[in-house]
Amino acid sequence: MKIKNIIVGPLETNCYLLTNGQNCLIIDPGEEADLIKKAIGDKNVVGIIITHYHFDHIGALERLKNDYQVKVYDFHSLKEGMNQIENFSFEVLFTPGHKEDSISLLFENDMFVGDFVFKNTIGRTDLEGGDFEQMKESIKKLKSYPDNIILYPGHGEFTTLKEEKENNMFFKEVLK
């Protein structure tokens, strides 16, 4: 599987394109549908996954869904645990805290976390749908996974679970 990151919109949202052979999954098409389509090229789009429904993660959703005639997958249509979309197998974790519909997606050692975790911090819990107590439970769940997992956030640069366990003050607080 190959991962391509396209930074879109005024809040610089990470839109990820995952390709496996000719098939492509879109994660969080925040804005700039034309830019995303150009990056997809001649790949066969098999679905769009939304990590949570904040405006900066879904700005291009309707256009891409209609242009490619594909299904949208999210908290409501994916089950926690293993899921399959065409030739993509992945694990879904329900990770509320930033928003009640937040999910994280684990493809082998690559985890797409939306605005749940950022490098050395976490997503805001003071916005609509946020809850700090739920965030702490989601962090506990995430910390049970192996250190070598690469975390791909909704904004900013990627990190590793090991780095977050060692340097993220919110992860250290949950350790207590």
pLDDT in tens, 120-146: 999 999 988 899 999 999 999 999 999
Mean pLDDT confidence for 7-17: 97
pLDDT at site 73: 98
pLDDT at site 71: 98
CATH architecture of structural domain 2-78+85-175: 4-Layer Sandwich (3.60)
3-class SS at 125?
coil
Average per-residue pLDDT for the chain? 96
User: Does the pLDDT at position 166 exceed 80?
Assistant: yes
What does each C-alpha distance from 174 to 92, 127, 133, 171 come to in angstroms? Answer: 22, 21, 11, 5
User: Does the pLDDT at position 172 exceed 90?
Assistant: no
Instruction: Quickly state the pLDDT bin for 174 (edges 50, 70, 90).
Output: low
The answer for residues whose C-beta is within 8 angstroms of residue 93's C-beta and 6 or more apart is 80, 103, 104, 105, 106, 138, 141, 142
Amino acid, single-letter form, for residue 69: Q
CA dist 138 and 94 (Å) reads 8
Mean pLDDT confidence for 110-124: 97
Mean pLDDT confidence for 47-68: 97
Name the phi and psi angles at 132, rounded to 5. Answer: -65, -35
Instruction: Quickly state the pLDDT bin for 175 (edges 50, 70, 90).
Output: low
pTM, full prediction? 0.96
pLDDT in tens, 20-39: 999 999 999 999 999 999 99
